[in-house]
């Protein structure tokens, strides 16, 4: 076979090769140990010098040509394979995420949104304060002086202080009530706010965790009374538990920051182990409240002879457990994915009064 015929044969075979394996077979057939081109290279030694002068360069040129034809074909096959993958494996990124991969809203977030929606509807705005606060805001300003037993009852976490540190002592706030003072200072009166947020106490069992959540309420004006408090709380409980009728019971109590003070229970039943609000023979305590103590109003920089009002404080985790039948508070903070999937809420359903709170 002439070199031209040999070149012709390999050009055609390489052009028609369907995959890399065929190319490799062709390489071996031409340039492997027993390959057609290799054998002819070996014959060069037997040739006359004149013949060799012609055949040597010709064979080398042929070898180079086949080598680069093989490489080019290999690259073309790889390109074609990539094109094919791109065509076959495309992904429409505008499709919605698969439901099982979707995150959920934690019940505490959900209930905070629900509470906020209900009170916003009654003209309360949301105020926030720091979780690390001075003991003045957390206690003194709320009429809890340093010798007061309420300080001991609260199992306060105190921040570490170096000896000789002149700054006021700081605590992890034990309740959201200090936000009452900060809001009065910042906004004056009249005032209508709620303050949801995390609070801390050294306590741990089925119904207590070192961090939990409260929502504080405060309404100040010239003529606010317990009657306003009662109406607001009734409206809240009806909306929150999504029932048409509720009955509230005010039990005389004592808090340093309110006078008079009342704990509020709602009528309920526990038939079959599930809570029904509004009917039955049981009472369920849901919050503490009262008329803001004049000393507290004064501590907030407002004249207690002109302004008066009510305040209340409620456990968010607690009302979340009640509404959604969650038995153990500790699970709220364990981040167990199975629990979160079970008790979590669809993240795009923002609770509103008109759209439904928990649907």
Residues that bind ligand DAH (CB under 6 A): 175, 177, 216, 255, 258, 288-290, 311-313
CB of 287 to ligand DAH, least distance (A): 7
Residue whose Cβ sits closest to ligand DAH: 313
**Are 179 and 198 a contacting pair, CB within 8 Å?**
no
CB of 245 to ligand DAH, least distance (A): 25
Residue whose CB is less far from ligand DAH, 136 or 339:
136
CB of 322 to ligand DAH, least distance (A): 17
Helices 36-43, 49-88: crossing angle, 10 deg rounding: 160
CB of 350 to ligand DAH, least distance (A): 27
Residue whose CB is less far from ligand DAH, 17 or 316:
316
Residue whose CB is less far from ligand DAH, 217 or 351:
217
Residue whose CB is less far from ligand DAH, 235 or 285:
285
Strand, coil or helix: 212 = strand
How far, in Å, CA of 8 to CA of 241, rounded?
87
CB of 140 to ligand DAH, least distance (A): 14
CB of 103 to ligand DAH, least distance (A): 31
Residue whose CB is less far from ligand DAH, 58 or 226:
226
* CA angle, 288 then 294 then 300, to 5°: 90
Pairing of strands 191-200, 125-126: parallel
CB of 236 to ligand DAH, least distance (A): 14
CB of 255 to ligand DAH, least distance (A): 4
**Are 319 and 111 a contacting pair, CB within 8 Å?**
yes
Residue whose CB is less far from ligand DAH, 124 or 312:
312
* CA angle, 170 then 174 then 179, to 5°: 80
Residue whose CB is less far from ligand DAH, 290 or 300:
290
How far, in Å, CA of 203 to CA of 215, rounded?
19
Question: Tokens representing 93?
Answer: 């990124």
Give the start-end residues of each E strand in the chain. 104-105, 125-126, 132-134, 170-172, 191-200, 211-221, 248-255, 258-269, 276-277, 282-292, 308-315, 345-346
How far, in Å, CA of 4 to CA of 62, rounded?
9
Residue whose CB is less far from ligand DAH, 32 or 260:
260
Give the phi and the psi of residue 343 in degrees, each rounded to 5: -100, -5
How far, in Å, CA of 169 to CA of 158, rounded?
8
* Residue with tokens 């409620």, as numbered in its chain: 314
Strand, coil or helix: 331 = helix
């Amino acid at each position: 076979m002439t070199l031209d015929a040999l070149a012709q044969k390999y050009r055609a075979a390489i052009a028609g090769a369907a995959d890399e394996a065929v190319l490799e077979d062709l390489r071996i057939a031409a340039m492997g140990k027993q390959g057609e081109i290799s054998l002819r290279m070996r014959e060069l030694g037997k040739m006359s010098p004149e013949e060799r002068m012609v055949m040597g360069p010709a064979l080398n040129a042929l070898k180079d040509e086949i080598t680069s034809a093989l490489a080019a074909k290999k690259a073309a096959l790889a390109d074609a394979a990539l094109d094919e993958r791109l065509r076959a494996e495309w992904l429409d990124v505008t499709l919605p995420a698969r439901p099982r991969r979707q995150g959920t809203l934690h019940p505490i977030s959900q209930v905070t949104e629900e509470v906020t929606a209900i009170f916003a509807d009654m003209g309360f705005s949301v105020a926030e304060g720091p979780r690390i606060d001075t003991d003045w805001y957390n206690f003194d300003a709320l009429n809890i002086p340093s010798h007061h037993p309420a300080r001991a009852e609260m199992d306060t976490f105190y921040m570490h202080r170096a000896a000789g540190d002149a700054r006021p002592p700081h605590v992890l706030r034990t309740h959201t009530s200090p936000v009452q003072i900060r809001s009065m200072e910042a906004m004056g009166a009249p005032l209508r706010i709620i303050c949801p947020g995390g609070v801390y106490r050294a306590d741990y069992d089925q119904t207590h965790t070192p961090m939990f959540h409260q929502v504080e309420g405060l309404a100040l004006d010239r003529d606010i009374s317990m009657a306003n408090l009662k109406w607001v709380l009734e409206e809240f409980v009806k909306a929150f538990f999504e029932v048409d009728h509720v009955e509230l019971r005010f039990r005389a109590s004592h808090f340093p920051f309110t006078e008079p003070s009342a704990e509020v229970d709602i009528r309920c039943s526990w038939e079959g182990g599930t809570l029904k609000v509004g009917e039955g023979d049981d009472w369920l305590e849901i919050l503490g409240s009262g008329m803001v103590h004049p000393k507290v109003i004064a501590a907030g920089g407002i004249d207690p002879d002109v302004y008066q009002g009510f305040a209340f404080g409620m456990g968010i985790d607690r009302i979340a457990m009640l509404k959604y039948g969650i038995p153990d508070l500790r699970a709220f903070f364990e981040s167990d994915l199975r629990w979160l999937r079970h008790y979590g809420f669809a993240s795009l359903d923002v609770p509103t009064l008109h759209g439904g709170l928990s649907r």
